[in-house]
Structure 1
Amino acid sequence: MLVIALSLLVGAVPANASAGLAWQLTTTNSTARFRGLSAVDGRTAWAGGTAGTILRTVDGGRTWASVGPPGVADLQFRDIEAVDADHAVALAIGEGELSRIYRTSNGGRTWTESFRNKDPKAFYDCFAFFDRRDGLAVSDPVDGKFRVLSTHDGGASWTVLPTSGMPDALPGEAGFAASGQCLVTKGRDAWIASGGGAKARVYHSRDHGLTWTVSDTPLASSPSAGVFAVAFRDSRTGIAIGGDFAAPTAAKDALAGTRDGGRTWRVPPSAPKGYRSGATYLPYLPTGIIAVGPTGSDLSLDNGNHWFQFDAGSFDTVDCGWDGQCWAAGEQGRIAKLRW
């Protein structure tokens, strides 16, 4: 029903673009802040948050079970990737050994720690998978270059990739662990979002993370500003979104689009009215995108050229399942499902 309704709206831009669209909050019984989210479908979703919290629902959000690893209350799970109700991989962020990766194959009944960062200079922000077995995780620059981990067994083991194919980072440049979307994949391609330095940039790999190129975006950059998330429809078409989390209502220089895989970026005619930390393309609707942030959620039905706010609530991240059902998560235990 959601896909049909969105399809009907394509012809209604701009007047009725967000009519009837709303987030339906679920009861999580948690006060954690959830910046990690993985939507499997309309029934199954996983969320990772503060105080070592991982939640899972298998009934469309009617109930949530706390399924995180034991003894990790000091960890912040900022990214989580799941393929079904049983298999998930979760990333905890932080300096040194606070950056860890856990994996479950039984719905969170047990977890295996598959990676613990031993380098005090590394700080892992987010990760993404190409398929069920192959994935990457990215750390802030170490010795002047972003550091990338690789897995080929579904997250059971991780290897640091050589940095010879990674361009030099700018002074102060880093990723933002705000939504689990500072690293995304599509096919063989991967993109890393950055900010903090003199330029807000996007790195692009066409070979599963072995070599990278980097391009400047028009987004503003500062220690609190840059590209917080990237989203791609295919290997060429995508957006970079962000802003300044220290000025969340400012919308200037917070969105750009690309049609060449991230080699060049352009500012669209309109943008969401404020800092946005997460974004996703809508399955089955090639030009549809949803963006979320602490001051609201926005919809675009024309590939990011025009945007319409449909919710004023605070969310940090958004994700859609294979069936087109979309979820959002954020502060104070807020997890919602998109409804008409």
Structure 2
Amino acid sequence: MKKCFPLMRLICALLVIAAPGAGVQAADPAPVPAMKARLAAKVALTGLVRAGDALVATGAYGTVVRSTDNGQTWQQAEVPVSTLLTALHFVDAERGWAVGHGGVVLATTDGGVKWTLQQQLADKPVLLSVHFVSAEKGFAVGAYGSAWRTVDGGRNWSPMVVGSGRDTDMHLNHIFATRNGVLFATAEFGLAFRSADGGDSWHPLTTGVSGSLWNGLEGANGEIVLLGMSGRVLVSANGGDSFQVFEHDSGQSLSAAVVDANGGLIVVGSGGLVLRGRERFATEIRADRQNLAAVALAADGGLIVAGQLGVERVGGGN
């Protein structure tokens, strides 16, 4: 039994730690919808994505907020649960999924305006990440090696096994796919896994680090980028066979990234950290020092960040 687990998906380094030996207590979905709040965009938010030209963010208390004006204003969506929603993913401007504590899987077919409770997975796992490669085929991962896949748009889910031996008990923090369909999952203790067969088999990668890897994405030129503790950016130019590690001297955990218009990365992390660049990164520390969990680019190129203090537009744009 692990002695601790971040019950709330990384709002960068903002962690809620379970007591030693206590394990994970996955919160049940509330029997009532998420409460409407005047300042819903200012609650702690952990997920943020583009859905067509709109922006959608998820977070605490079942909060989902949506913007259709490039992050200038936000409207709260209709959500049937009030549990923490940790992550979301859209396959197009209309169809998306969100996951969270209690094994909840929500779905939307109108760009995030209204959500339905599509599934509550067996044993109610803490889900931390979701990714769909098509409108039918998707994947979700979470605490203690919880890994699931669907081939019918989320109506039914079956368990997967990621890793082998003791690795199957590691917290899986994030899952994503490359443009050619190869899956990657990031985990604790520097572990990352790759699947080239749709999740049937997973192979461990040699990352060269030992700290948790919180996130990952495919770069502009097909490189695999993983983000982790202590300011580490891992980059692979050969599909994950090997990684070059770039360490940032801030030492802050890195939680999410997006590819910018020039093919570089914008990376966010704890303590208000924002990095821009490729192998070398320009550093910005936000005055509010809030822990940032997610980042996206608006349709007009504006930079949007989400985290401990909600979601906001922080600059840029046409």
Alpha-carbon distance between aligned partners in 1 of 2:262 and 2:159, rounded to the nearest angstrom: 35
Q: Which moved more, 1:309-318 or 1:53-62?
A: 309-318
The aligned runs of 1:229-308 (5 Å cut-off) are 229-233=215-219, 237-243=223-229, 251=231, 254-268=232-246, 270=248, 273-282=251-260, 284-286=261-263, 288-302=264-278, 305-308=279-282
- Contact kept, 8 Å, 1:298 with 1:310, in 2: the verdict is yes
Cα distance per residue 1:202-261 (max 9 Å; x no partner): 11111222211012323343xxxx101112127951222121xxxxxx54xx33221222
Residue in 1 that maps onto 2:21: none
Cα distance per residue 1:125-164 (max 9 Å; x no partner): 21112233322111334xxxx3432223433x1321453x
Residue 271 of structure 1: how far off its partner (Å): 5.9
Cα 1:116/1:293, change in 2 over 3 Å: same
Residue in 2 that maps onto 1:335: 312
Residue in 2 that maps onto 1:185: 177
Secondary structure of 1:133's aligned partner:
coil
Runs of 5+ consecutive residues of structure 2 not aligned to the other structure: 1-37
Alpha-carbon distance between aligned partners in 2 of 1:293 and 1:275, rounded to the nearest angstrom: 6
Residue in 2 that maps onto 1:127: 130
Counterpart AA for 2:138: G
Alpha-carbon distance between aligned partners in 1 of 2:315 and 2:156, rounded to the nearest angstrom: 35
Residue in 2 that maps onto 1:68: 78
Secondary structure of 1:295's aligned partner:
helix
Residue 61 of structure 1: how far off its partner (Å): 2.1
- Contact kept, 8 Å, 1:31 with 1:333, in 2: the verdict is yes
Cα 1:167/1:66, change in 2 over 3 Å: same
Cα 1:256/1:86, change in 2 over 3 Å: closer
Cα 1:84/1:106, change in 2 over 3 Å: same
- Contact kept, 8 Å, 1:90 with 1:101, in 2: the verdict is yes
Cα distance per residue 1:64-103 (max 9 Å; x no partner): 1111313x22x0011112345543211112xxxx121011
Alpha-carbon distance between aligned partners in 2 of 1:126 and 1:105, rounded to the nearest angstrom: 19
Cα 1:194/1:132, change in 2 over 3 Å: same
Cα 1:332/1:298, change in 2 over 3 Å: closer
Counterpart AA for 1:229: N
Counterpart check, 1:201 vs 2:204 = no
Alpha-carbon distance between aligned partners in 2 of 1:162 and 1:31, rounded to the nearest angstrom: 35
Query: Across the two proteins, how many residue pairs are aligned to each other?
Result: 276
Cα 1:171/1:152, change in 2 over 3 Å: closer
Q: 1:32 aligns with which of 34, 39, 43?
A: 43
Secondary structure of 1:327's aligned partner:
strand
Cα distance per residue 1:249-285 (max 9 Å; x no partner): x54xx33221222222222365664211112222x53
- Contact kept, 8 Å, 1:184 with 1:190, in 2: the verdict is yes
Q: 1:316 aligns with which of 269, 285, 293?
A: 293
Cα 1:204/1:78, change in 2 over 3 Å: same
Cα 1:327/1:192, change in 2 over 3 Å: same
Counterpart check, 1:173 vs 2:166 = no
Q: Which moved more, 1:56-65 or 1:261-270?
A: 261-270
Structure of greater relative contact order (alpha carbons < 8 Å, 6+ residues apart): 1
Counterpart AA for 1:159: W
Residue 51 of structure 1: how far off its partner (Å): 0.8
Alpha-carbon distance between aligned partners in 2 of 1:111 and 1:298, rounded to the nearest angstrom: 31
- Contact kept, 8 Å, 1:135 with 1:152, in 2: the verdict is yes
Residue 39 of structure 1: how far off its partner (Å): 1.5
Alpha-carbon distance between aligned partners in 2 of 1:236 and 1:207, rounded to the nearest angstrom: 18
- Contact kept, 8 Å, 2:70 with 2:302, in 1: the verdict is no
Alpha-carbon distance between aligned partners in 1 of 2:185 and 2:213, rounded to the nearest angstrom: 9
The TM-score with structure 1 as length reference comes to 0.71
Counterpart AA for 1:258: S
Cα 1:218/1:296, change in 2 over 3 Å: farther
What's the % identity of the aligned pairs? 20
The TM-score with structure 2 as length reference comes to 0.76
